[in-house]
Structure 1
Amino acid sequence: MQRHTLKTRLTVTMLAISLLGLWSLSYFSTQVLRQDMEHMLGLQQLSAVTLVATSLDAAINEQGSSLSHLAHSLAPSMLERPERLRQLLEGLDKGLQFDAGLQVHDLQGHLLVSAAASRGGSVPPPYVLPAELNPARVTVHASSRLSGLLPLSVPMLDQHGQRYATLTGFTNLRNSNFLSRLLTAGYGGSGSYMVVEPDQRLVIASSNPAYVLGNIPPVGQSALVDRFVGGYQGSGVTRNSSRTEVLASAHRSELASWYVAAALPTSDAFAPVATMQRHLLLATIVFALLLGGLTWWTLRRQLAPLMDAIHKLTQMRVSVAPLQALSVQRDDEIGRLFVAFNGLLAALNQREVALQQSERKLADILDHADSFVYLKDREGRYLYANRRVRTLFQRTMQQLAGRRDEEFFSSASVAILRQHEQAVWQYGATLRVEEPTVDRRNGRAAIYQSVKLPLRDQSGEIYAMCGISIDITERKQTEEALRIAAIAFEAQAGIAVLDTNLRILRVNQAFADITGYLPAEVSGQPINILRSQRQPEGYYEEMWRTTRKHGVFRDDAWLRRRNGEDFYARGTTSAVYSVRGEVTHYVCHLIDVTESHQRETLRLQQEAAHRDVLVREVHHRIKNNLQGITGILRQFTYKHPQLEEPISHAISQVKGMSVVHGLRGRAADGAVHLCELCAEIADQVSALWQTVIRFDLPPLWQPAGVADDEAVPIALILNELILNAAKHGGRDHGGVDIRLRRTAIAQQIEITISNQGLLPAQSAATPDPYSGLQLVQALMPRAGASLNMRQQEQLVLTTLLLAPPALQITTRETPCTT
């Protein structure tokens, strides 16, 4: 047997549990048996003590009767002769059993006569009779002044039954007496009886002479004895004065204030219990040995498959063959253990396969990573390198393993690399550094951002150094270019970089100087904070649409400074595109050209003023010349009256053209307003044809300027339409109505001319192509104009619709000068 084996531990455990259980059961049963025996023996002992106490009362009564008979035989007159009375008492029969003598006391308790038990014997010492002596009965008591003597007193009565004296007999407790003869038999083999005087805790008599006149345990030493002294009658276990455990019982005497007690050592009282405990102990040992042997044999039989499995596993551990599953022969705990082991073995195989796959995946990931990943030992030899490193060095992993950096880099580069790697080996910390290198094979200089960290085993020892490097050569060059660009960024022109939401990301100092906004103030703000109200509505939206569409927008525009002042800026807005062609940022350049713009504006204003004067003069002269032509035509009419109508028509057309030049010469901006043009032509036609023409125009009217190139054609069109209405229906039918209104269509004006008459069923061809509807159709603008004529009851309605580009609509409402 080996102490560490499962069989040994289970066997020992079973033995320990069995012994503990049996011994616990034995202890419990013996305790119960002891309690039962204590109860039964206590009852038996109490019965015996009760019997002895009854016998004691009978013996005391018998002694008292003898002493009372003697007291009756004495006459009261004998007290007058004390000597004679003493002799008489000394000569009495010794059958009275008062071997310590007799005494007579008077009523006051004074000693009158003291007589020895026999002639020549010793006289008892003087005894003071207690004051509480009861004259009607026998009194038994003990006195510490009469050590070893037991007094028994009876009253001496005269012939009238009156006590005249007291007779007391003394018994020597050390000699054989009626008490010792009563307790001669003893109790049990080693037990004893005793009569105890409780007040003085004194043993009056005992079946064991050694206890006579001895003292019971003092107060507090034995709770059971204290209870006996207090009057308890019963049984219990306690220790006597010699500290021996005893079973004791007590019962009170009815005639004396004593109690009779019996004590039996518990070793004798519970001897059967001890015997049974020895037998149980022996039986427990025998049973435990049998149980241990049977447990050992059962465990060896049941664990045999497990031992075989251990042997097979040991062989598989030292063998190179693949692990085999254990055979399961039975469906118990061991069989389930084998099943679980086989499942674990299958899971381990799967994990090993997964680990191999994971290692291959990791190798693939590292081979496809953009970083240079490698492992080195303490001597700087390569242990592993990914594909990027192998490509850089133009070596396979087998060729690179064990090589050093000295074969690939210059000596200065190797010194820097070794310094960084030694710091990792020495301090065990992760190092992040930039490493400039020069390839000794082609002289190429490169800068690498490297992270070098220690790899530790389970014990915490560093077994390799892992390096991860990134070629940042191009980034360094880009940073250099960016530094140059940053210097260029701080140019005289204001520059602002915006995100796609048109929020300012960064501005230069020139931008802050021009706009008054500090760079920190505008960061994150929309570019709209620079908008000026002087720019036309929609200008900025159109600017950004053009920038998104074409990538750039160049124009001069009004912007607003931080203090609310407007300034004129020459700007360029460019879109920045990503590699996928998406807009990522906008860059705005602006230069403050307010002063030059103001100078140029002043120059243009001056030039416009000179031009306006010249234009007005030219239009005035043209108007005067046209009026001169009109006068010549009128004179020609006077000479040729038959030509009055065509000549009047021509005069009307000439006057329509002169109206245009008259309006241009009169207007400050040189524009011809449609409402004024209609009113002037209507007045001329009304005067020429003597026809009432009513002109309807709203009180507040937004003047619509006629396009410069369409002013004369539209004037001729209006002249023909109004003249036609006046000729065919106006003069004889109440005149002509002209009405100007805006339509529901934006920036469109409707001119309605109505007169009494009927439209012809079919238009007749006009012999003169330069008058009538043919002239109107020929002069109609190609865009922004339409004409419609319709019959409405007795009225002919002619509707002319004009819109941009034939018109130029303004936004302010002002009365039309007609």
Structure 2
Amino acid sequence: MGLAWRHVFGSLRTRMAAGLLLGAMLAVWGSTISLGYVLRQEMLATLSAQQYSVVGLLADEIDRSVNERMRALEVLAETMDAAVLADPAQLDHLLRHQPVLLSLFNWGVMVTDGTGTALIDFPESLLRKGNNYADQEVVQEALRSGRSAVGAAVIGRTTHQPLVPMIAPIKDGKGRVIGTVIGFINLAAPNFLDEIGANRFGRLGGYLITEPKRRIFIAGTDKSRVMQPGPPPGINPVYDRYVDGYEGSGVARSSRGVVELSSSRRIKSTGWLMQSVLPAEEAFAPLYTLEWRLLAVAGALTALAGGLVWWWLRRELKPLGEASDMLEAMRDGVIPRQALPIRRDDEIGALAGAFNGLLETIEEGEARAAENTFNQRLRGIVAQVPGVVFQYRIGSDGHHSLPYVSDAVRESWGLAPVDLARDAGVLQQAVHCDDRGAFAESLRTSAESMGPWRLEFRIDHPLRGVRWMRLDALPEAGSEGCVTWQGFAMDITDAKASESELRIAAATFETQEGIFITDADERIVRVNQAFTAMTGYTAREVVGQTPRLLRSGRHGPEFYRRLRESLARDGFWRGEMWNRRKSGEIFVEWVTISTVRDQQGRLTHYVAAFSDITEHKKAEEQIHQLAFYDPLTHLPNRRLFHDRFEQALAASARSGSRGALVFLDLDGFKGLNDSRGHVVGDQLLTEVARRLSLCVRESDTVARLGGDEFVVILEDLDDGECSAAAHADRVAEKLRDVLSQPYLLAPSCGGEAVTHRCTASIGVCLFQGHDLSRDELIRRADVAMYDAKSAGRNTVRFFRPEGEGLRAGSPL
């Protein structure tokens, strides 16, 4: 379809016709559109003026009716004074003799006192008497200002009807307001506004009276819209202008979606808006009919002009079209190339003659260059073929030869085309010995079935070694049983090597180590079976996810920041990492992550290989526990105690603080061991370790040196030697007291538990920095402990450096 349209608009005749027709259309349609626009504006102005004039007359009529009712109320108010208001009978008589006034207000008349309370109400059935209306804005304003007014439309308090109140003040002789006379118009009942609303403007139009302050309709042709809100601001811009005070006409789309012509005039006495609306479709119906007639005339003129232009151009350009058709037929091969007929002695005839001369020159040149061009093209094609192009022939006498083979055979097979042209045995000898049988068999099968000859085989290249070849040829049967294959052969050695590397890589990928590969955005693209076995996640569950799926939460952001820095700087990272299996189990792994980049150095993948070293870590922890902790009490053993004591001495030397070494030995432990057995003895040692650990700070060290000997390192004691000694003494006494409490021990035979009391002899030695060696301090604490033993046990003794005869005693 697109080619057809391009063919049509590519015609000179079509373009000229289109140009002339376009000019005529612009003139005709421009005039039609301009005339339609002028008529529309004139009709809009005329209709607007007529509609506004009608609205003005109605507004004046309503204004007159309102003033008439207001004047009636004011006259009645002037006949009243304080005495009348105070006399209900006189007030009742006065109102009952006002039939004209009552006829003007279809919902009755009411008189209030100066407080806004209704004194009398006609008709009495409305039950308004005794109600206070001082909260109504119109009543408040009349009592305050002493001026008559028309109130806003409201819903009656007792009758629940839409009402418009009109009020006049009652004044005393001094001009003070002492009450009001209020007349009510019920908008839902027949009233003087219905005479206006009963009429329609046009067939579908109507009238509306709007209270602009609250944007509600208080009367209209459509009674269902009474006390209904008008369109909110911004919906109907013309209505918004009317509410803002504009008097005139306009066209806009109403809130009901109808385009309307409307007019508005303000009623002076009430401030209401008298409006009329008429659907634009009805208002401009005559104009629409006229416009359609103009369009019909313009269309007829356009068609007539187009037909005349087309006929004239067709007649003038007919020789050119005939020449064009002949040229297309020559191009498509429908007719042979030939000279064009010359029918006129004008520009078209000159063009045909020039073409005839050019045609003769072209035919001569083509005849000379055809054979040379063909040969050059064939040689160029063969030279660009990625492989060896050949003819393989089996003659009627059974002789094999290659009548034609391209020069690429020298590089691919290491053979000369001349040798192959004489005898194909040269090629058969070059085929690898293990593939010669398959070579001959595939050739025989193709010759018998006349099907394609396809084969992959190896050839022994004299310089490049063994090379893989893929051969593809089609047979042609000749005369006297001769068969010739036309085909080519390609070197596929590199492809074979790639296949082998892929097989090796696939086998390597499935190792004992877990492996996963991500893209540059760190999304997993592949995992091996070991990954699934270690983590519990299958390939389907993790492909497309990031390795964050495995995070255990034990490593902070700083750990991963250093990992990424190492990958960016070195191209790899290795180390220990804690991860989480699918089951939720935390495990530790040894991970190596490497980056993969393309030839341009752009990052393409990450490869991570990991092995589960959880059991190895557990073994390390067990070895560490056995090397540095007592297996029974899980307290630091002698080796770890020595290390922590050296650290305490170094910390004391740096800070200048004092510390104490507390040496404890259980009294009578051997007797318990001998009488109750080692199981009970072990229970006692375990409980002693627990009590000691609970009595000291976390920064202090409790250790078991062996047997029933325990030691406590107290650091950061109070300043001053005396204060530090007193501090250490308090701790030692606390330990002594705790250890002397009864122990509940269970015998190994499973009998009843026994209560055992055990005390401890405690020796204390103060230290500060490296004034004394570690071993000397231990010796002194041990001496103080033995002094406590000698003093009767279950006591605390401090080592005193003055005199070995008096080595230990109280710290004070």
Same fold (TM over 0.5): no
Q: TM-score, normalised by structure 1?
A: 0.40
Greater Rg over alpha carbons, structure: 1
Q: TM-score, normalised by structure 2?
A: 0.41
